[in-house]
Amino acid sequence: MRLLIQGGRLVDPSQKRDGRFDLLIEDGRVKKVAESIALPRGAEVLDVSDLVVVPGLIDMHVHLREPGQEYKETVETGTRAAAAGGFTAVACMPNTDPVNDNRSVSERIIGEAEKYGLARVYPIGAVSKGQRGEELAEVGDMVAGGVVGLSDDGFPVGSSELMRRALEYSRHFDLAVIQHAEDLTLGPDGVMHEGEYSTRLGLPGLPGAAEDIMVARDIVLQQDCGGRYHVAHLSTERSLELVRQAKTRGQSVTCEVTPHHLLLTDEEILSSNLSTDTKMKPPLRSEQDRRALLDGLVDGTVDVIASDHAPHHADEKDVEFSLAPFGIVGLETTVSLCLDRLVRPGLISLARLVELLSATPARILGVDGGSLAEGSRADVSLLALDRQVTVNPRKFRGKSRNTPFGGWKLRGRPAGTLLAGRRVEP
Amino acid sequence: MSGWRRKDLLTIADLSSDEIELILETAESFREVSRRPVKKVPTLRGKTVVNLFFEPSTRTRSSFEIAEKRLSADTINFSAGSSGLVKGEGLVDTALNLQAMNPDLIVIRHAHPGVPQLLAGRIAAGVINAGDGAHEHPTQALLDALTIRQHKKRIEGLKIGIVGDIEHSRVVRSNIHLLTKMGASVTVGGPRTMMPAGLGKMGVVVAHDLEAAIDGADVIMMLRVQMERQSRARFPSVREYFNLFGLTRERLKAAKRGAIILHPGPMNRGVEIASDVADGPYSVILEQVANGVAVRMAVLYLLSGVRAEEA
Amino acid sequence: MPRLGKSATVSTSATAAQMGNLKPRRTILDSAQMRRTVRRMAGQIIEFNGGSENLMLVGIRTRGVPLAEAIAAEIERMEDVEVPVGVLDITLYRDDLSTIAPQPVVKETHFPRTLSDLVVVLCDDVLYTGRTVRAALDALIDFGRPKRVQLAVLIDRGHRELPIQADVVGKKVPTAAEEIVEVRFDAVDGSDHVEILELVG
């Protein structure tokens, strides 16, 4: 089975390539990359002359809700959304019901994903049993079941002792510990960023310090224990600065940011008239924080862009702002938002975006991907840079519609994915 | 200002100074109605007003109810603790049920900010916010303004000090919007543990002791201390609160001579305000109550002329 | 288009302006005629009531008020008695509130003394459909129990929609429904006159 991907612009920072290249795929792997490849006998041709070809994009922070909350999303609909959104792989967080703190849940998730073959699913295992923050989950067993990282996401690892042990123990498996950084005792009733707009709206605040305190503590622990520490959905200027300093010291600390924290601020809650689709954790922060995150994106402090895709049923979101669950979907908007708002204005290059959305997440998770070098697995994403798109949540492939980006007009969109050389039909 | 065009009264933040002026002028006319031998006019005859109180409130609810009855509206009271409201029905279903009864106006008090907006977007009836969490309480700010105007003849150029639990007060937020829109200069004061972030961006001066907050003030507004805040480490004791932030006759000397004192009620005597000050000559607290009825009549009257399709 | 009482006097000029331009068609009363008319009305009121004892003039806002004041001044000149003048705002008693938007401005009602056992003479500039007077009567009753209520109008332009007639009429003016009667008082408008206006455009 051979496929010639012909005429596209290949952007593959792992090979320092950005230009017109043909790719020959054979048996699911990249056989050859060259400026022009003659069509081998019996090969199919995929003409991508108006498209950009990049290593398969990986969203390393999503919630697929299965098992337990299939009314919000399933592995099937979540991977369908991923494929439609231009991703060949996602890493799914363990806050399912039951929690993914054991091998059987991990295997079930991977099995479901393989059944549909829409995108690869890499489960993130819970740090602690039941995500209760007390005792370590059976990490070794979960790794055997396919887990590629550890997190109690949805909840922070609050106990310093547990974080210490998690960092230590994760080293046996070279897993990143992914922290939802939040000191829950600070701003305990908070529903939005604490600042001018929470004051105007009379809503209880979530201070940025709650995130910073956790990031600072964890960086201290990582310094002593080693291990790979990754800050999930980092959202404040000071947390970013803490990560920057840790990196300067040579610590193994990485971080991800979400498109919504890069593009929206807490003002959106007021201007959207308290739309519950502007409510998530961490909350939309101040303009100063947002600008700092953009700087971090440019100077390399930010390692990854991830959506924190968090589907919720419309009935759950259609309530008082204070009572609505935190979270928004992102799998089907992330690529267009990044192309239109980050790459098109020249903030970052396309090559840098590929690092943020593919090469670096692959490295942090320790999974195959992030490169289209000869011999690598042919997971490929195609992008149409000049295609206009208006975000229409009703057309999402995922089950839920909770996005603040509905109606946004964006230029640039995903144009298909290949998994091991096979076209995915989302 | 050619007339009132809004279906709802949700926040003071949304209003222009012309709209505020129109409500105040209308309220001034309505003050007279309450002094008539027959304190009832047929204006809202055949209109249905629903008072939807998800939080207990005796004052605001009875003030609205009197205003409604004086305008001859048919009033229905729902309060948390009665009817289906507490049987786990979501707000959106409550809204749909109310809509099916086709009321003309809904007065709503709710613990969560933004609920009146949520309701207003779902329902054809006009919605009046009677307090949503710590967000806004528009009719309170309007009745405060009416009271201030009565005594000081104007709002523009006045110095107004507001003291107390700023963070949890909807009264403060509505008052800050109203008073700054009408050209007053506002200083807020209170314990730092009850002072929300970024308040300065709302156009007020922030002070941290009582004297600084009321220094040279024409008008002093004292806020109710919610005792339950004590257990959440916002202040150590009622005694200490009074010692630091209670308005006493001695401390009143920092204000301008003839300054008037307002309080949205209900008062905690000996906590935020000493009894002799509350009952003293400059206290206009009971006039506020009377003006509350006039303001609410004015708002009900103005909103009743706007139907959903026009708004 | 709201059609209340005299329809478009100056108080509804905002509405009239929205409809198009008003052009004077003919003058009904000039300044001197108006003064004489008011004087005659004052005389009739005194005659009607056998003097000016226990009398109160109540002007219906807006231009019933200067009329009531002008009549009171005339009575005072003739009889050397100060007649109390009240001000009645009928907005809250209008029967068309649910059909017009936005709500008309509400102004204060004020009586110098209680109405009981007084003869109240309601004064208005133009009598038209009769609906203003109906509202005024309802309002008046809520303030007390006058011994008698009479109605004095400067202009009766016809087109009644209710069985209401004035006791004292300055001038009867047959009009077409689309015409507008504009009454101006020196005290509030800077000149005295009554004109018929027509709508153009």
pLDDT (tens digit per residue) in A154-192: 999 999 999 999 999 999 999 999 999 999 999 999 999
Cα-based distances in Å from A26 to A33, A39, A44, A378, B304: 12, 13, 11, 9, 74
CA A235 to chain centre: 14
Rounded percentage of chain B residues whose pLDDT exceeds 90: 81
Structure tokens at A43: 């090969």
For chain A, say whether B112 makes contact (Cβ under 8 Å).
yes
CA-wise closest residue to B147 among B86, B218, B83:
B218
- Please check the confidence at residue B92 and state whether its pLDDT lies above 50: yes
What strands lie across the sheet with C180-184, from one edge to the other?
A: C21-29, C193-200, C180-184
- DSSP per residue, chain B: ------S-B--STT--HHHHHHHHHHHHHHHHHTTSSS---STTTT-EEEEEESS--SHHHHHHHHHHHHTT-EEEEEETTSGGGGTT--HHHHHHHHHHH--SEEEEEESSTTHHHHHHTT-SSEEEEEEETTTB-HHHHHHHHHHHHHHHS--TT-EEEEES--TT-HHHHHHHHHHHHTT-EEEEE--GGG--TTGGGGT-EEESSHHHHHTT-SEEEEPPP-GGGGGGTS-S-HHHHHHHH-B-TTGGGGSPTT-EEE--S---BTTTB-HHHHTSTTB-HHHHHHHHHHHHHHHHHHHHT--TTT-
- Please check the confidence at residue A122 and state whether its pLDDT lies above 90: yes
What predicted TM-score, i.e. pTM, was given to this entire model?
0.90
- Please check the confidence at residue C13 and state whether its pLDDT lies above 50: no
Yes or no, beta carbons of A203 and B110 under 8 Å apart: no
Rounded percentage of chain C residues whose pLDDT exceeds 90: 71
With a CB cutoff of 8 Å and minimum separation 6, the contacts of A67 are A96, A97, A98, A105, A108, A109
Q: C10 or B33: which carries more pLDDT confidence?
A: B33
Assign C10 a pLDDT band (cuts: 50, 70, 90). Answer: very low
Assign B93 a pLDDT band (cuts: 50, 70, 90). Answer: confident
Q: Which residues of chain B neighbour C108 with C-beta distances below 8 Å?
A: 28-29, 32
Yes or no, beta carbons of B115 and A320 under 8 Å apart: yes
For chain A, say whether B197 makes contact (Cβ under 8 Å).
yes
What does the pLDDT look like over A281-332, one tens digit per residue?
Answer: 999 999 999 999 999 999 999 999 999 999 999 999 999 999 999 999 999 9
* Closest Cα in chain C to B36: C143
Query: Phi, psi at residue B289, to the nearest 5°?
Result: -65, -45
The one-character DSSP state at A38 is -
For chain C, say whether B105 makes contact (Cβ under 8 Å).
no
- Cis ω on the peptide bond leading into residue C102 (within 30° of 0)? yes
The one-character DSSP state at A158 is -
Assign B3 a pLDDT band (cuts: 50, 70, 90). Answer: confident
For chain A, say whether B90 makes contact (Cβ under 8 Å).
yes
Half-sphere exposure of A351 (CA within 13 A, CB side): 10
Residue A381, min C-alpha distance to chain B (Å): 41
Beta bridge partners of A136: A128
Yes or no, beta carbons of B25 and C105 under 8 Å apart: yes
For chain B, give the mean pLDDT: 92
The pLDDT value given to residue C52? 86
The pLDDT value given to residue C8? 36
Complete domains list, chain C, with CATH: 30-176 (3.40.50.2020)
Q: Which residues of chain C neighbour B21 with C-beta distances below 8 Å?
A: none
Assign A426 a pLDDT band (cuts: 50, 70, 90). Answer: confident
* Ranges A177-181, B226-230, B245-249, C18-22: which has the least confidence: C18-22
B14, B55, B112, B132, best to mutate vs chain A, most A CBs in 10 Å: B112
Selected residues 56-75 of chain B with any CB under 8 Å from a CB in chain C: 71
Assign C20 a pLDDT band (cuts: 50, 70, 90). Answer: low
- Please check the confidence at residue B81 and state whether its pLDDT lies above 70: no
What does the pLDDT look like over A251-263, one tens digit per residue?
Answer: 999 999 999 999 9
Yes or no, beta carbons of B305 and C92 under 8 Å apart: no
Q: Which residues of chain C neighbour B311 with C-beta distances below 8 Å?
A: none
Partner residue opposite C102 with nearest CB, options B29, B33, B305: B305
Rounded percentage of chain A residues whose pLDDT exceeds 90: 99
Amino acid at B69: K
* Closest Cα in chain B to A196: B198
Q: Measure the CA–CA gap between A213 and B105, rounded to whole angstroms.
A: 48
Q: Which residues of chain A neighbour B198 with C-beta distances below 8 Å?
A: 195-199
Partner residue opposite B29 with nearest CB, options C107, C139, C143: C107
Yes or no, beta carbons of B114 and A320 under 8 Å apart: yes
Rounded percentage of chain A residues whose pLDDT exceeds 70: 100
The pLDDT value given to residue C7? 39
Q: Which residues of chain B neighbour A265 with C-beta distances below 8 Å?
A: none
For chain A, say whether B265 makes contact (Cβ under 8 Å).
no
Yes or no, beta carbons of B32 and C142 under 8 Å apart: no
For chain A, say whether B41 makes contact (Cβ under 8 Å).
no
For chain A, say whether B233 makes contact (Cβ under 8 Å).
no
Q: Measure the CA–CA gap between A407 and A394, rounded to whole angstroms.
A: 11
C-alpha torsion B261→B267→B269→B275, nearest 10: 40
Yes or no, beta carbons of B91 and A195 under 8 Å apart: no
- Please check the confidence at residue B82 and state whether its pLDDT lies above 90: no
- Report yes or no on chains B and C touching (3+ CB pairs under 8 A): yes
Once rounded to an integer, what is the mean pLDDT over residues A116-130?
Answer: 98
The pLDDT value given to residue B85? 52
For chain A, say whether B115 makes contact (Cβ under 8 Å).
yes
Yes or no, beta carbons of B198 and A199 under 8 Å apart: yes
- Please check the confidence at residue B84 and state whether its pLDDT lies above 60: no
Assign A120 a pLDDT band (cuts: 50, 70, 90). Answer: very high
Q: Which residues of chain A neighbour B196 with C-beta distances below 8 Å?
A: 194, 198-199, 205
Yes or no, beta carbons of A323 and B113 under 8 Å apart: no
With a CB cutoff of 8 Å and minimum separation 6, the contacts of B130 are B51, B53, B57, B60, B61, B64, B107, B108, B109, B137, B139
The one-character DSSP state at A128 is B
- Please check the confidence at residue A398 and state whether its pLDDT lies above 70: yes
Yes or no, beta carbons of C143 and B37 under 8 Å apart: yes
Residue B197, min C-alpha distance to chain A (Å): 5
Yes or no, beta carbons of C106 and B29 under 8 Å apart: yes
- Please check the confidence at residue C3 and state whether its pLDDT lies above 60: no
What does the pLDDT look like over A206-238, one tens digit per residue?
Answer: 999 999 999 999 999 999 999 999 999 999 999
Yes or no, beta carbons of C142 and B26 under 8 Å apart: no
For chain A, say whether B173 makes contact (Cβ under 8 Å).
yes
Catalytic residues of A: 308
Partner residue opposite B92 with nearest CB, options A205, A207, A318: A318
What does the pLDDT look like over B101-160, one tens digit per residue?
Answer: 999 999 999 999 999 999 999 999 999 999 999 999 999 999 999 999 999 999 999 999
The pLDDT value given to residue C199? 80
% helix / strand / coil in chain C, to the nearest 5? 30, 30, 40
Yes or no, beta carbons of B90 and A319 under 8 Å apart: yes
- Please check the confidence at residue C16 and state whether its pLDDT lies above 50: no
* Ranges A406-420, B233-247, C114-128: which has the least confidence: B233-247
The 10 Å Cβ neighbour count of residue B175 is 31
Structure tokens at C113: 């003394």
Residue A380, min C-alpha distance to chain B (Å): 44
- Please check the confidence at residue C89 and state whether its pLDDT lies above 70: yes
Contact B161, B189 (CB under 8 A): yes
What does the pLDDT look like over C25-51, one tens digit per residue?
Answer: 899 999 999 999 999 999 999 999 998
Q: Measure the CA–CA gap between B65 and B77, rounded to whole angstroms.
A: 9
Selected residues 114-133 of chain A with any CB under 8 Å from a CB in chain B: none
* Closest Cα in chain B to A286: B198
Cβ-based contacts under 8 A for chains A and B: 68
Contact C184, C191 (CB under 8 A): yes
The pLDDT value given to residue C4? 39
With a CB cutoff of 8 Å and minimum separation 6, the contacts of A278 are A264, A268, A269, A272, A284, A328, A404
What does the pLDDT look like over B262-284, one tens digit per residue?
Answer: 999 889 999 999 999 999 999 99
Q: Measure the CA–CA gap between B287 and B289, rounded to whole angstroms.
A: 5
Structure tokens at A183: 């000191």
- Report yes or no on chains B and A touching (3+ CB pairs under 8 A): yes
Once rounded to an integer, what is the mean pLDDT over residues A36-40?
Answer: 94
What does the pLDDT look like over A328-380, one tens digit per residue?
Answer: 999 999 999 999 999 999 999 999 999 999 999 999 999 999 999 999 999 99
Partner residue opposite B133 with nearest CB, options A200, A202, A319: A202
For chain C, say whether B27 makes contact (Cβ under 8 Å).
no
Once rounded to an integer, what is the mean pLDDT over residues A1-7?
Answer: 94
